[in-house]
Amino acid sequence: MVRAGIQRRAHRRGKAVVSRSGSAIGVDRAAIGGSVSRFWGGVVLTGYFGLFGVLLLWYAWLEPSSRLPTALVLILLVGPLLMPLRGLLHGRPYTHAWTSFLALFYFTVGVFNVAGPMVHPWMAWLEIGFSVLLFLGAVLYVRSRSLEWRAAVNEPIVVPAAHVVQLESGVPPRMESKER
């Protein structure tokens, strides 16, 4: 009874409801995205670009290494941050998941730098802060996306009526052979 009401309302709006079992039309994962996952995606990008900027500022301008070339230090410490950039910008949950492990590396480096003598100790605290922001944002983004995905899979799929073939007999149409 409830399902018939949903179908009538959807039909009036020019859309049809298709059950998961009887439909060849799937749910587009990229289209799923609620306000919670968008918020955590913003937190991830804030932590990512903040960490990227702090490391560039620190190792290229404020405290360049006297023992190693600056380019080598930047490649070794800032280079790994470039790997997840595309996936983070596109909102891919798998990339967010393994970026959380990368954030733990930068957290460890920041703690190591806080313990040693430095000219600018606040830079190490910023590194720790942005790495924690990146880690928490990435983990909570993956969690919110998985919850939204589960919720979307359990709901009926609403598609435009033009994409659904209405069958009166309940038998699927036969495919006509083009070979004659």
Say if 80 falls within a structural domain: yes
* Tens digits of residue pLDDT in 120-177: 889 999 999 999 999 999 999 999 999 988 888 777 656 565 555 555 566 555 656 5
* pLDDT score, position 151: 83
Say if 150 falls within a structural domain: yes
* Tens digits of residue pLDDT in 81-135: 999 999 999 999 999 999 999 999 999 999 999 998 888 889 999 999 999 999 9
Say if 165 falls within a structural domain: no
Say if 172 falls within a structural domain: no
* Tens digits of residue pLDDT in 43-89: 999 999 999 999 999 989 888 888 889 899 999 999 999 999 999 99
Calculate mean pLDDT across residues 19-25: 43
Q: Which domain holds residue 111?
A: 44-154
Say if 124 falls within a structural domain: yes
- d(CA 15, CA 74) in angstroms, rounded, equals 54
Question: Greatest CA separation found in the chain?
Answer: 85
Closest CA to 45 of 96, 83, 102: 96
| Neighbouring C-alpha atoms within 13 Å toward the C-beta of 145 | 22
* pLDDT score, position 13: 43
* pLDDT score, position 6: 46
Q: Which two tokens stand for residue 100?
A: 């959380």
Domain total for the chain?
1
